[in-house]
Structure 1
Amino acid sequence: MIVRALCLAAVLVVALAVPAGAHNVTAGADLRIAQTIAGAEVTVVIKGTSRVPGPLRIGVIAYQPVSGLPVGLEVRSVEDGRALTGTAQAAADPQYVQVRVERTGPHELKLSAGGEVAVVPFRVLVERGSMGDFLIYGGLFLAALLLVGGLLTGATARPGRAMALAAGAAAGVTVAAMVIVFEPQLPPPAPDGAAPAAATPAAGGRPYAQARVETVPARPGAGEEFTLRLDLIDGSTGRPVDDLTVHHEALAHVVVTSEDGRYFRHVHPLRTAPGRLEVRLRADRAGRYLAHAELEREDSGGQLVAAGFEIGSEAGSEIGGEAGSEVDSEVGSEVGDEVGGETSRADVAEAGGAVVPRLQPAAPVAGRPTTIELDVPAGVRPWLGMTGHLLVRSQDGAFLGHVHEMGTPGSRLRFTFSFPAPGRYLAWVQYATGDRIVTAPFTVDVTAAAEAGR
């Protein structure tokens, strides 16, 4: 009876296993989330923990020179409200702060620095033993017991019972062997503390978020600090979208550029409330600016939100007529021909003005892959999970593309990108060195396929 139960359990483990989700978080893995806070670009690292109750280590990596930037930490369990506090110093090679967590499941990490506060949701996950492990060790243990019993029974001149016990031992070994062979092909069990799976997943996944983008104040002036705010709403329920998944080590990537491309910021807004993302910025020149936000909901695809806003010549001024608090979602406008080396404030280092990358082919053709190479100094380190980033914007701002370095070894970055249409494109390559993020701007003129064939 026991052997039959083990065999039945082995079959059920193989037959009833469910596929792994696309965004399952592995227990014990580190969680890295980029944040633009207190004017600094940092990545918060929450180290994985192997047991609960147990230690949870948190560090803040700085990707630019910072002098004693303290970041207040508060870890709170969503289920029981228990909170623990600490302070981390942002640094290129930070010291990790250790707090003790008492349970798995949903938690919130509140970050405080420079008068700004962000609340990052995360889950404490711990691996749990699988049914496969139970069957393997249970089958082997049962086989050992039956084998010993068979030997003892055979020694007392009862061959029939000895054969039955030996058969049971063979069955136990067979069950263990079956699980050993088939278990690697099955998804691992959900870790302790994982979010419960939806009983009836929505057909086609969750809908894209509807975004309302605004600046605070409504009419920022040149040189004035302002907040760019994104409010995300689920159009099917009217509720705030608070299920963004971490992609490329951030909840959202926001690229802000001036129409002429002289101003460029690649930032990572703070979650200040459910469904609300905010980042503080400052633009030194009046004019029209474009914002593109890359984000992704759980059980949904990647989404690009685009909007435009105005910077006045002085605080509270208007440009081009009446302006409201909500920014204009249309981004088309004529711009100048040249792109200079001006990027953002001191937290993003310039690459010494415009650069000249190597293109293959030298005259890119719309719709065909182009290889872009750029020499970089030694000591480039990963940022946002990648060695390098290429961001490409059409001249009118209607298109934004974002690809990553292909992993080429040595002191160069190499990207492959297909420009969607002929015309002039503004491009920026970004990479991180030991103490800063370098932004290298350039332009690319793309021809039509018909012109390239002449």
Structure 2
Amino acid sequence: MLTRLFAPVLVAVLVAASVLAWPRSASAHGVGDTTEVRLAQTIAGTELTVVIRQVVRVPGPLRIDVVAYHPVRDLTIAVRVGQESDTVRLLPGRAGSHPLVLGVDEVGPHELRLHAGGELSVLPFRVLVPRAAPWERLVHGGFAGAAALLLGALLAAATARRAPAVLLGGGAGAAMVMALTVALLSARFPPAQPDGALPTAPGGPLGRPYVQARIATTPATPVVGGRFTVRLDLVDGSTGRPVDDLVLHHAALAHLVVTSPDGEFFRHVHPTRTVAGRLAVGLTVDRPGRYLVSAEVERVESGGQLVSGEFTVTGPPLPRQLRDEAVPATVRLGSPVAGRPTTIELDAGRDDLQRWLGMAGHLIVRDEEGGFLGHVHEAGSMATDPGRQEADETVADHGPTLRFTFTFPEPGRYLAWAQYVRDYRIVTVPFVVTVGTEDAR
């Protein structure tokens, strides 16, 4: 009878212990510790998203997807990790995802190097292997002990030794209760730091100063129609040393917005990391004059910040027909009031929009003078469902209506640009917003 009583419990213990002991995959991580690393890059005039997929084992294969957005020209991208290298060939008009496989031999920090069109991008990432937390070892040991005690109880029962069987069975039950209790309370325990992870700085959260940024161009005085480079040199606000601990901020190390004072020229690009403390991106403009630069960055244990600067371009303007064509769209925003949230709706026409930078849409707002710049995301795609896996850049399942919520700080005239992606093409919709006051309504 004792055998019939203990057998189902023994099976349950063994199954639970096996599930908890099942090995987990290693992961390739940016500083942000996500399962997959997504890094937006603007290199050789082409907008890319580089996706570093989860690593199954170390040593083992490292799967990388290079997602290219229109306009795409004939371009070869050399990709290297350590001693492993491969190339991605982009052809005119052929946007989309381009997979390749390299290899990694160990956990910890790595660099993914991209060479294209004479430009270099060095992307840091880390390969992490999960490490068992102390509570996991306690749970595994509890189930293993319960299994051993239960097996002893079954053997004692089989030889008609009732007292030892009951004692061993009770011990098995106690061990199981302990293991289950610890497992249920595990959500309250801090996770174990995986092998290869960046050590936590003693300063704790928000323990590092903001960066100080110098924005310059090469050449120092760009010319209309000529390609030039915008550089961001970032140093620690306390030590003056180059800052090389930027975290992924909405799928990029930095978001850089360049506009002309009248808003006719607009670029939202993602500079490459070339060396420690330096980001760079190539641009071409079609009008002379002053250009405003704003960059969003975030460093480890510090926080997001906006740095700004400007540069001047000389030379005669290019013919009007070379300018970007406006994209027709319907924008609805009512009567915005300063200091109060405003809902802005954009009708994109169809429900076939793809995520870009982790969101279905982006809204960038600048005041008329250029002293203020704001950046918010489409409200629907910001909501997360724990039971639903986030779609990647290849899935077209958003739209047709994009909704943004934005609070304009002061009354006045604002320039705005809404962006979304369809068929791997980044669409920019410019519009103007006039913001009033509560008293004027």
Distance 1:449 1:136, change over 3 A: same
Q: Secondary structure at the match of 2:115?
A: strand
TM-score, reference length from structure 2: 0.83
Query: How big is the shift at 1:427?
Result: 0.4
Residue 173 (structure 1) aligned with residue 146 (structure 2): no
| Correspondence for 1:25 | 33
Aligned-residue sequence identity (percent) comes to 53
**Equivalent of residue 351 in structure 1, options 312, 321, 327:** 327
**Cross-structure match for 2:336:** 364
- Contact 2:330–2:347 at 8 Å: present in 1 too? no
* Structure 1 residue matching 2:424: 3-state secondary structure: coil
Q: What's the CA shift for 1:201?
A: 1.8
Match of 1:63 among 61, 69, 72: 69
Aligned to 1:45: 51
Equivalent residue, structure 1, for 2:25: none
| Residue in structure 1 matched with residue 236 of structure 2 by the alignment | 234
2:287·2:316 contact (CA, 8 Å) conserved in 1? no
1:410–1:99 CA distance, 2 compared to 1 (3 A): closer
From 304, 310, 313, the counterpart of 1:311: 313
Deviations 1:73-123 (CA, angstroms, capped at 9, x unpaired):
1102xxxxxx21111234543231111211111000110111101101100
Q: 1:86 to 1:416 in 2, by over 3 A?
A: same
Residues 387-426 of structure 1 aligned to structure 2 (within 5 Å): 387-407=360-380, 410-426=399-415
Contact 1:380–1:433 at 8 Å: present in 2 too?
yes
CA distance in 1, matches of 2:32, 2:228: 36
Q: Contact 2:143 / 2:179 at 8 angstroms: preserved in 1?
A: yes
Q: Which residue of 2 aligns with 1:120?
A: 123
Contact 2:205–2:302 (CA under 8 A) maintained in structure 1: no
Partner of 2:146: 143
Superimposed CA distance per residue, residues 30-70 of structure 1 (whole angstroms, 9 cap, x where no aligned partner):
11100011111111111111210111011210111424432
8 Å contact kept, 2:364–2:416: yes
**Partner residue, 1:101:** 104
**1:412–1:118 distance in 2 versus 1, CA, 3 Å:** same
Following the alignment from structure 1 to structure 2, what is the Cα–Cα distance between the partners of residues 46 and 23?
A: 13
Assess if the C-alpha contact under 8 Å between 2:338 and 2:438 holds in 1: yes
How far the C-alpha of 1:265 sits from its partner, in A, is 0.4
Query: Is residue 85 of structure 1 aligned with residue 74 of structure 2?
Result: no
Moved more, 413-422 or 145-154: 145-154
Deviations 1:119-175 (A, max 9, x none): 011001233334444333322221122123234345656555444423321221122
- Look up the equivalent residue of 1:373 and give its one-letter code: E
Q: Which moved more, 1:147-156 or 1:61-70?
A: 147-156
CA distance in 2, matches of 1:258, 1:108: 35
1:449 equivalenced with 2:434 (yes/no): no
**1:260-409 alignment, distance < 5 Å:** 260-313=262-315, 350-352=326-328, 357-359=331-333, 362-378=334-350, 379-407=352-380
After TM superposition, the structure 1 = structure 2 runs for residues 159-198 of structure 1, keeping only pairs within 5 Å, are: 160-198=163-201
Unaligned 5+ runs, structure 2: 1-29, 382-397
CA distance in 2, matches of 1:110, 1:406: 34
Indicate conservation of the 8 Å contact 1:356/1:442, yes or no.
no
- Measured after TM superposition, the shift of residue 439 of structure 1 is 0.8
Match for 1:87: what amino acid? T
Q: Are the counterparts in 2 of residues 254 and 266 from structure 1 also a CA contact under 8 Å?
A: yes
> Which range moved further: 263-272 or 409-418?
409-418
Partner of 1:79: none
Q: Distance in 1 between matches of 2:95 and 2:197?
A: 31
How many residues of Structure 1 are paired with residues of Structure 2 in the alignment? 390
SS at match of 2:129: coil
Distance 2:245 2:417 in 1: 30
Deviations 1:367-412 (A, max 9, x none): 1111111111322111111111110000000000001111276412
Contact 1:50 1:127 in 2 (8 A): no
Q: What is the CA–CA distance in structure 1 between the aligned matches of 2:169 and 2:89, rounded to whole Å?
A: 64
Distance 2:141 2:204 in 1: 39
Match in the other structure for 2:23 = none
Alpha-carbon shift at residue 421 of structure 1 (Å): 0.1
Deviation at 1:343, TM superposition (A): 12
Is the contact between residue 295 and residue 307 of structure 2 (CA under 8 Å) also seen in structure 1? yes
Q: Counterpart of 2:5?
A: none
Query: For 1:451, what is the secondary structure of its paired residue?
Result: coil
Structure 1's 93 and 227: CA in aligned 2 closer, same or farther, altered over 3 A?
Answer: closer
Q: 1:58 to 1:344 in 2, by over 3 A?
A: farther
CA distance in 2 between counterparts of 1:267 and 1:344 reads 20
Q: Give the distance between the partners of 1:380 and 1:156, measured in 2 at CA.
A: 70
Which piece of structure 1 moves more, 119-128 or 241-250? 119-128
Residue 210 of structure 2 corresponds to which residue in structure 1?
208
Task: Look up the SS of the partner of 2:380 in the other structure.
Answer: coil
Any conservation in 1 of the 2:81–2:103 contact (CA below 8 Å)?
A: no
Structure 1: gaps of 5 or more residues? 1-21, 77-82, 316-341
- Say whether the 8 Å CA contact 2:417–2:429 is kept in structure 1: yes
